[in-house]
Amino acid sequence: MSLFDHKVSELHELLHKKEITSSDLVSESFKRISEVDDKVQAFLTLDEENARAAAKEIDEKLGTDNSNGMLFGMPIGLKDNLVTKGLRTTCASKILENFDPIYDATVVNKLKDAETITIGKLNMDEFAMGSSNENSGFQATRNPWNLDTVPGGSSGGSAAAVAAGEVLFSLGSDTGGSIRQPASFCGVVGLKPTYGRVSRFGLVAFASSLDQIGPITRTVEDNAYLLQAIAGIDPMDSTSANVSVPNFAEGLTGDVKGLKIAVPKEYLGEGVQEEVRQSVLDSLKVLEKLGATWEEVSLPHSKYALATYYLLSSSEASANLARFDGVRYGYRTEQPESLIELYKKTRAEGFGEEVKRRIMLGTFALSSGYYDAYYKKAQKVRTLIKKDFEDVFAKYDVIVGPTTPTPAFKLGEKLDDPLTMYANDILTIPVNLAGVPGISVPCGFTGGLPLGLQIIGKHFDESTVYRVAHAFEQATDFHKQKPEL
Amino acid sequence: MSRITTDQVKHVANLARLAITEEEAKDFKNQLDAIISFAEELNELDTDHVEPTSHVLNMKNVLREDKAIEGLPQEEVLKNAPEHRDGYVKVPSIIE
């Protein structure tokens, strides 16, 4: 048995009873990494020396006020698009291969305040663009449940590391499903919080109006504790919301009596694999037994979400990624003849294919003569998609459906056709466009691969999302199963 | 019919400051063409009277007190610059 088979709250108790130390937890992490990471390939950078030193220091603090926090002494992995002072941050891109950040992201500062210990930085699709981790500039992370399949993406390393027991929990980021989809593929719990719930300061921007940082954990309760530590307004991010942060763990009552669930017919229709559909229907029966009711609804503009998302996210990305020009940081081409050539060759040599494709699409959609037809049109359709959710949430407490249309696919299977790869995110993308919170919790298996149930809530109502996810988790045992490695 | 020409692709690549080869220009033309024609399904929707959404939260013009705080030290800021001299980031000369 691994120490990480315990929940955070149990480990907290064991630490305070002095049955274990934080150094034990950190050792557990590095031991497991040395055993399995050559297979899983979740980590891009390890911070072993500092992590062990930090654990020793933290062990000295046991019994002081600092040690009361729930996350005190717990080891964590971070997606490699969260800047960490003095710890290489690459976004899995050659253009940032040797980038050594000079400040910490707000979430990293908050984790330091909570006295967690950073184990290392986790692989992802380059600049978070992708659904399989195959777009990483460095390595392809594998799904711990089946090493021939992808872990999902873009936070594939973050999900795989938790599923493989390499860390207790991790942070990812989600622009169109990049936390929930890999959580679903790897059989763990992943939450995309409401847009504005968590500061994005120090998250290397992909699409600023959609990006959110969120927790990936083994249980819903752990997830609630981790969100608690990172949530809240931040003067360094003017889009972080001035909304009070409730006690998320306190809301995990197990009670869903009278809860009204909406199930969009678009989320169980064409393209959704039969086993996936069946697992969602079975999950709804579980929730019904617990006293909830469900009805079929429609989110009529769902089919337009994918196109809307690719136009908006690529447009925002083309602007955000303009900063990678070889001047102030990152890779620079050798011996350019002019400044323009320096920009062009640096970017051509530093960015991978998918990133270039999205920069091209975004630049096109924003260019003179096309702005109204593509970018502005997509912004208007976004309004319609957002309104779909508002209409349903006027009558229902949560929306439930699958996280992904299929379980994890094989490496290489979807690389040739960008549109097929994009379609994987069809059930998660609308949630980002509407800015609402969504979670994926394990809800079944097919062919030895995990499936995820997606629970979507109202703006800033993560508490209800967690309550439903927790009640479901307690009534099932999918989350207790572990991959054999 | 093609929605985008190779010349347009080259123009966009120039705007995006990306050096591309002839072969890449052809590949991008085909791929962007497929993505853009897929995106044109949005034209099925009448959005004449719909306001665009750039941001989902109901907040505008977030202000803060205009207070000076200490910036990052120059040494640190230059640490990641590929080339620098005398406290400046160095690039190829722009004016002869």
The residues pairing with A216 across neighbouring beta strands, listed in sequence order, are: A170, A190
The residues pairing with A260 across neighbouring beta strands, listed in sequence order, are: A293
Please report the pLDDT score of residue B27 as a whole number: 94
Distance CA A73, CA A67 (A): 8
How many domains does the structure of chain A reveal? 1
Q: Give a yes or no: residue A142 inside a domain.
A: yes
Which phi-psi region, left, alpha or beta, contains residue B91 (left: φ > 0; alpha: ψ -120 to 50)? beta
Backbone angles phi, psi at A399, to 5 degrees: -110, 135
Q: Which domain holds residue A402?
A: 3-258+398-480
Tell whether omega for the bond before A313 is within 30 degrees of 0, i.e. cis: no
Interface of A with B in 159-188 (CB under 8 A): none
Work out the average pLDDT over A389-418: 93
- Catalytic residue, candidates A23, A136, A173, A178: A178
Percent of chain A's residues with pLDDT above 90? 95
Distance CA A70, CA A389 (A): 34
Positive/negative CA dihedral, A26, A63, A84, B75: negative
Work out the average pLDDT over B4-24: 96
Q: Looking at the predicted structure, is the pLDDT value of residue A442 above 60? A: yes
Question: Cβ A100–B18 below 8 Å, yes or no?
Answer: no
Work out the average pLDDT over A334-363: 97
Q: Enumerate the residues of chain A whose CB falls inside 8 A of the CB of residue B32.
A: 357, 360-361, 364
What is the overall mean pLDDT for chain A? 96
User: Is A178 one of the catalytic residues?
Assistant: yes
In chain B, count of helices (H) and strands (E)?
3, 2
- Catalytic residue, candidates A22, A93, A154, A155: A154
Name the CATH superfamily for B6-39: Glu-tRNAGln amidotransferase C subunit, N-terminal domain (1.10.20.60)
Token digits for A437? 């919170």
The predicted-structure confidence for A8-49, as pLDDT tens digits, reads as follows: 999 999 999 999 999 999 999 999 999 999 999 999 999 999
Interface of A with B in 5-64 (CB under 8 A): none
Q: Enumerate the residues of chain B whose CB falls inside 8 A of the CB of residue A322.
A: 17
> What ipTM was assigned to the predicted interfaces of this complex?
0.95
Q: Enumerate the residues of chain B whose CB falls inside 8 A of the CB of residue A343.
A: 17
Token digits for B36? 């853009």
Question: Cβ B57–A307 below 8 Å, yes or no?
Answer: no
The answer, for A196 touching chain B at a CB cutoff of 8 Å, is yes
For the ranges A282-286, A415-419, B58-62, which has the lowest average pLDDT?
A: A415-419
Q: Give a yes or no: residue A393 inside a domain.
A: no
Question: Cβ A384–B47 below 8 Å, yes or no?
Answer: yes
What is the overall mean pLDDT for chain B? 92
Q: Give a yes or no: residue A213 inside a domain.
A: yes
Distance CA A106, CA A213 (A): 11
Question: Cβ B45–A381 below 8 Å, yes or no?
Answer: yes
The predicted-structure confidence for A71-127, as pLDDT tens digits, reads as follows: 999 999 999 999 999 999 999 999 999 999 999 999 999 999 999 999 999 999 999
Q: Give a yes or no: residue A436 inside a domain.
A: yes
CA distance readout (Å), A415 to A126, A133, A410? 14, 11, 10
Question: Cβ B79–A100 below 8 Å, yes or no?
Answer: yes
Token digits for A75? 């080891």
- Catalytic residue, candidates A22, A29, A79, A158: A79
Q: Looking at the predicted structure, is the pLDDT value of residue B46 above 60? A: yes
Work out the average pLDDT over A440-444: 98
What's the pLDDT band for B96 if we cut at 50, 70, 90? confident
Could you tell me the residue ranges of all domains in chain B? 6-39
Amino acid at B56: V
Q: Looking at the predicted structure, is the pLDDT value of residue B1 above 60? A: no
Work out the average pLDDT over B71-95: 93
Please report the pLDDT score of residue A423 as a whole number: 77
Amino acid at A382: R
The predicted-structure confidence for A245-270, as pLDDT tens digits, reads as follows: 999 999 999 999 999 999 999 999 88
Of residues A162 and A270, more confidence is placed in A162
Token digits for A30? 């590095």
**pTM (2 decimals)?**
0.97
Please report the pLDDT score of residue A269 as a whole number: 86
Closest in B56, B77, B80 to A99, CB measured: B80
A299 min Cα distance to partner chain B (Å)? 15
Q: Looking at the predicted structure, is the pLDDT value of residue A217 above 90? A: yes
- Output the domain CATH number for residue A453: 3.90.1300.10
